[in-house]
Amino acid sequence: MDELFDRMLEMSQKGYFCSQILLKLALEEEEKDNPDLIRAMGGLIGGMGFSGNVCGCLTGGACLLGYYLCKGEDDELEDEQANEKISEFVRWFQEEIGGEYGGTNCDTILDDNPSNKLMRCPKIVERTYEKIMELLAE
């Protein structure tokens, strides 16, 4: 998964953050581009506007699953496992990431130290993306 990590790092260097990176990866896999969606995902970064609340990987990950599994058009049906998969992801994030860092808020994950972002966030984004791909493959 070094290629994935390198791609995420490249996006980060271009100014994208956790939730945006998750969706950009998905769009790239489908050879699509949707700047409006990526811009909207910016509302989740840093715990929603860098307020330190719920981690953008958690909320962005739920959005990523929704991107693949939920209804998007009038004649489209939601995948019958959509809510189950999203709930499973949330439980995983709370147990794995929340358990490791003492909670799922950005401030908690970063231990109220913004410089921890460079060490912690890339790994969390990578683990989140891998878990979501695993859930979708099941």
From first to last of its 138 residues, the chain has per-residue pLDDT tens of 589 889 999 999 999 999 999 999 999 999 999 999 999 999 999 999 999 999 999 999 999 999 999 999 999 999 999 999 999 999 999 999 999 999 999 999 999 898 888 889 999 999 999 999 999 998
Total domains, the chain: 1
Domain that holds residue 17: 2-71+79-137
pLDDT given for residue 109 in this prediction: 96
Whether pTM > 0.85 for this model: the answer is yes
pLDDT given for residue 114 in this prediction: 85
* Nearest 10 degrees: Cα torsion 52, 58, 64, 68: -150
pLDDT given for residue 118 in this prediction: 85
How far apart (Å, rounded) are the C-alpha atoms in residues 21 and 62?
A: 13
pLDDT given for residue 21 in this prediction: 97
Burial of 80 (0-12, 13-18, 19+ CB in 10 A): exposed
Separation in Å, CA 57 to CA 12, 19, 50, 75, 90: 14, 6, 13, 30, 10
Helix (H) or strand (E) holding 9: helix 2-13
Token pair 């994208």 is found at 16
pLDDT given for residue 1 in this prediction: 52
Separation in Å, CA 44 to CA 50, 78, 83: 8, 23, 20
* Nearest 10 degrees: Cα torsion 111, 112, 115, 116: 20
